[in-house]
Each structure stands twice: as structure tokens, then as C-alpha cells.
A = this chain, B = another copy of it.
Amino acid sequence: MTVLSLPPLDLDTGPTGDDDSPLRSVSTAVAVLDCFADEAELGATRVATRLGIAKSTACRMLAALATGGLLERTGSGRYRLGLRLFEYGQLAVDRLMLRDVALPAMGELRELLRETIQLGVVVGTDVLYVERAEAASMNVRFRSEHRRNPAHSSSAGRVLAAADPALVTAILERGLQRYTPFTVVDPLRYRQILASTREQGYATSREEFEPGWSSIAAPITLTRGGRPHPVAALSVVAPTSRILGPRKPAVVQGVRRAAARVSADLERARS
């Protein structure tokens, strides 16, 4: 039942203790939280073996996180992620002043194209989608396995990497993992794609992450230091023929205009 297609949240050098930070107990507490990214419910023994710590330590960590509200106890003495994390997460996104600004444009773009619109930001070397306007109806919330994907294989990741050399090196250092036969895994070709992305002002991904599905993305920018800097991406995702066929020019124009509008609104909201 675990999701195999995505890389783990963070690349661990192994369970045998990488201690590059002070506050060891806080670090292990975060590591305990990370354990819950894979499994819904965990007990002390399981956590202890996964992290290579003593069972008593794991038990204390779980108890401390539970009293803090970051974890909750289930009936059987195990633990799961707590709803306080939901509140914090909503606050984190709210404070980007991005989702609220982008939602109207996303809704209109969805109506215009009748396709699914995603709002993505970079976290690490992945793209995290903080909002999605579904094509069919609003009543399908995207599931966790589609809430994040590697930056190198998505159009949103490309418009964001196109203007961020540090991100590009991080992505290349991590390696261009192949997900479909179409995934671009050659660094040189990847850089060429980024160059054309810079030039054209939008990016595409043709079935490079999930067979049959492609996407087109445009950057949402914010003027920092006099120069526009991408902070997020608006992307249209659909079966390949619906957006990379004859409709492609219309889709490109639509998503670019919507992203430009969001950028302007965002600029205005920062005051």
C-alpha cells in the first residue's frame, strides 16, 4: 500500500545517525514525524526500529509530540499525525499570500480550458501543489500521491528551475530519475529544455511522469530587487492530446495570461 513512485521526503544518509545539527532531541522528534509520512499509524516499537533508537526513547518522543498536538493517540495505543498539523499547514500556505490570490484566476482558467489547474511551489527538489482546481467538479480533492512530484519531470518544476540555478544544480545532483519512457534524464537535454523555457516563458512536460498525462506551466513571478523572480507556477494537466494537440496554443496563452494576472495581483497584495 505504500506509494512507490515517489522518492522519500528527504534523502537520509541512513538510519545510523547523521548528526549535523544541534538539538539532537528535536532532530529525532522531526525524524519521528517523518516516519508518519509513509505509514498512517505507528507504535513505539516500529518507530524505534525504523530510526535505530531505543524503544523507550521512541515512546517518550511519541508522548511528547502527542502532548504537543502534533500526533494523536489512536485507540490501540499507536499514534498518527495530529490535526494541529493541519492548522499549521493551512497557516503556512495562507501566509504565502498566494493561494487566495491565485484561486480566482485558477477558477476562471479552469472554466476557460475545462481542464485541471494546479498551483505549485518548490520544496527541496520537488514541486508541491498547494491548490488544485479540478476539471470535472470541485468535489474531487487530489490525493497525497499527486500532491508532490519531482521538479525535473513536471512543467511546473521547469518554469521554476529555469530562473533558479541553485535549484537546477540541486535537481541534477539528486539525479534525473526516469518515471516513463518519455522522462528526460539527460542533463544536457534538461538544460536545453530549461533554456527554451526561459526563452518562451512557459514549459511543457509530455508524459514524463505519468503515462498519458502531460502538462503546461507558466511562472508566477514577484519583483525582488527590481527583477521578476518566479515564486510559484500555474500548470494545466490533462491527457496529452487535449493540451499538446491543436489546442496547445490556446492552452499556452491561457495559462500564461492567468499566471501573469496572478503575478500582478500578488504584487498588489504585498503592501
Given A30-B69, A88-B89, A100-B141, output 15 extra A-B contacts at Cβ < 8 Å. A9-B84, A26-B29, A27-B64, A36-B88, A37-B91, A83-B128, A85-B85, A85-B89, A86-B89, A87-B147, A87-B148, A89-B90, A99-B141, A103-B140, A104-B139
On whether the beta carbons of A85 and B81 are closer than 8 Å, the reply is no
Query: Does A236 interact with chain B (Cβ within 8 Å)?
Result: no
Query: Does A2 interact with chain B (Cβ within 8 Å)?
Result: no
Q: What is the total number of copies of this protein in its complex?
A: 2
Instruction: Please report A residues at the B interface, Cβ cutoff 8 Å.
Output: 9-10, 20-23, 25-27, 29-30, 33, 36-37, 40, 60-61, 63-65, 67-70, 80-95, 99-100, 103-104, 106-107, 121, 123-124, 128, 130-131, 133, 137-141, 143-144, 147-148
A57–chain B nearest beta-carbon distance, Å? 9
Of B26, B90, B141, B144, which contacts A68 at CB under 8 A? B26
A45–chain B nearest beta-carbon distance, Å? 18
Closest 8 CB pairs of A and B: A89-B89, A30-B68, A86-B89, A81-B92, A23-B64, A107-B139, A26-B64, A138-B138
A14–chain B nearest beta-carbon distance, Å? 13
Of B10, B65, B147, which contacts A26 at CB under 8 A? B65
A136–chain B nearest beta-carbon distance, Å? 11
Q: Can you name the residue of chain B whose Cβ is closest to the Cβ of A80? A: B95
